[in-house]
């Protein structure tokens, strides 16, 4: 037997036509050369899984929000670290100046 595989988009299109009352299952079956029982199966599956559309979007939104919050915390921590390092650098530079020593210069290209 050679089974025809239909895309999810095609199945959704056919089921939506049934649900919207545009055409009867028999008409669609004939139009697309599909067994009417297959369309009924798609319709049942569609209705059973319809709520998942909303569950998934909430999960994705929550996941995205958590990621955004985590990134914001990391950013704030980095800004605090930069501020602390700036204060420490300024303190050390000031100490060198008070001692009358030249302030060492750091060039990342020399690393």
| pLDDT tens digits along 8-61 | 999 999 999 999 998 899 999 999 999 999 999 999 999 998 887 777 667 778
Q: Is 23 exposed, middle or buried (0-12, 13-18, 19+ CB in 10 A)?
A: middle
Q: What residues make up the domain containing 19? A: 8-103
1 is a domain residue: no
- Tell which wins on pLDDT, 110 or 73: 73
What length is written for the chain? Answer: 111
pTM for the predicted model, two decimal places: 0.49
pLDDT of 79 reads 97
108 is a domain residue: no
70 is a domain residue: yes
Cβ 47 vs Cβ 65: under 8 Å: no
Q: Domains in the chain: how many in total?
A: 1
110 is a domain residue: no
Res 5 pLDDT > 90: no
47 is a domain residue: yes
3 is a domain residue: no
Return the SS3 of 58.
Answer: helix
Which residues, at least 6 apart from 46, have a Cβ–Cβ distance to it below 8 Å? 11, 12, 15, 19
Res 71 pLDDT > 90: yes
């Amino acid at each position: 037997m050679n089974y025809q595989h239909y895309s999810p988009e095609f199945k959704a299109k056919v089921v939506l036509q049934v649900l919207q009352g545009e055409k009867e299952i028999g008409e669609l079956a004939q139009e697309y050369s599909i067994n009417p029982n297959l369309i009924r199966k798609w319709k049942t599956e569609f209705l059973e899984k319809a709520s998942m559309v909303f569950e998934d979007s909430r999960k994705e939104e929550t996941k995205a929000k958590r990621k955004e919050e985590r990134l914001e915390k990391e950013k704030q921590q980095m800004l605090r670290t930069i501020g602390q390092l700036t204060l420490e650098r300024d303190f050390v530079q000031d100490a060198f100046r008070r001692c009358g020593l030249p302030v060492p210069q750091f060039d990342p290209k020399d690393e």
